[in-house]
Amino acid sequence: MLYGWKGKMLRVDLAEKKIVKESLPEEWMRKYIGCRGINDIILYNEAGPNVHAFDSNNRLIFGTGPLDGTPIGNGRVSIQTKHPSGYIAEGGFGGDWGPELKYAGYDNIVIENKSNKPVYLYINDDEVEVRDATHLWGKDVLETTKAIKSETEIPDIKVACIGPAGENLVARAKVFNEHHAACRGCGTIMGDKKLKAIAVHGTGSVKLSDPVEYLRVYRQIRQILDLKDTADYFVPAWSFMSSLLMLDGFNELGWMQAYNAQRGSLKNALTGEEYIEKYVVKPKGGFCCIFPGGGRRFEVCRCHGRRKRRGVCICCCISGTYLMGCITKNP
């Protein structure tokens, strides 16, 4: 087997509650590299271009790449399916879920058919089960994550799930993994298949062909992006501000989504710096992200007092910035 890969794919039939572990063809690994490439070929071969998003033949595919589970991979996961609008929906999130799937021993998960009642997929190394999720239906992302953690009694289990938007087939619903989100409507198809969540826990590891050379290359990448030495002015600015860096520009160009996307710009919109001063309480990092403040934790209760003692974490998500940017100086 090739280094970096686990060489296994999980195929889950939600109608029959049948789980099959298949080996991933080596030709695919070499030809399509991984993640989006392999997801695409599975979607094309099995669903085809004419499948409708809500057909039971439509597939929902989660894929990782050969570098996932190692620091260079940054934990990126690609989710692919056919969207109700007719295009291939490709959402990607970072965080710990992708590496955990690799540590559990799988590169891809292919979801087939639809369940007749809400379910969630539980993966703990070799133990894979489709479990009832009726009690989780209607819960938001944080509540679902907490409930699954306490139910499975594994505190560091990683959960990718949908909230009420996905359950109600909102066209652009996201799939969330703690504070990371995969957009472009992948959550809609997850809701249609009545799959509330995929919880993964793994104890394995990712092996490297040449660990010492890997370290050398990783150091080289860090050196290029080193905040003290970089010649690129953008790098330190992005590492601190992330997508908030673009708030001022968005407002000027009319790209904000204020008042439920009825207005493109606001007179009193906060700038990125004011934002960080007022609302950001904690830096949050993606899996092995080399930027210290790429992600941020907002304290929502400080904004309008709607939710007490609960925070929202947003990584370098531009769509999140559109929305969070709509808070004005004088709410």
Partner 1 sequence: MSKRLFIVANELCNGCRSCEMWCSWVQTQEFGPNRGLIKIVKDSEGAFDVPIVDCNGDCPYPMEQGVPLCVEMCPTGTLIYADAKDTYNKKMELFEKRENQPLFKLVAPWKWPYPWKKWQGKEG
The site for partner 1 (CB under 8 A) is made up of 69-71, 96, 100, 103, 142, 145-146, 149, 155-156, 159, 178-179, 202-208, 211, 215, 222, 227-231, 233, 236-237, 239-241, 276-277, 280-293, 295-297, 310-311, 313
What Å distances lie between residue 269 and 58, 65, 216, 249, 252, CA to CA? 42, 39, 44, 11, 10
Q: Which is nearer to partner 1, 191 or 202 (CB)?
A: 202
Minimum CB–partner distance for residue 275 and partner 1 (Å) = 10
Minimum CB–partner distance for residue 218 and partner 1 (Å) = 8
Ramachandran region, residue 198 (left: φ > 0; alpha: ψ -120 to 50; beta: rest): beta
- Give the CA count within 13 Å in the CB-facing half-sphere of 71: 13
Q: How far apart are alpha carbons 207 and 226 in whole angstroms?
A: 27
Q: Which is nearer to partner 1, 189 or 316 (CB)?
A: 316
Minimum CB–partner distance for residue 293 and partner 1 (Å) = 6
Minimum CB–partner distance for residue 260 and partner 1 (Å) = 26
Minimum CB–partner distance for residue 239 and partner 1 (Å) = 7
Q: Which is nearer to partner 1, 170 or 290 (CB)?
A: 290
- 3-state SS, residue 75: coil
Q: Which is nearer to partner 1, 263 or 307 (CB)?
A: 307
Q: How many CB atoms lie within 10 A of CB 163?
A: 22
Q: Which is nearer to partner 1, 65 or 295 (CB)?
A: 295
Q: How many CB atoms lie within 10 A of CB 329?
A: 12
Nearest to 100 by CA among 152, 29, 136, 45: 152
- 3-state SS, residue 283: strand
Which DSSP letter does residue 210 get?
-
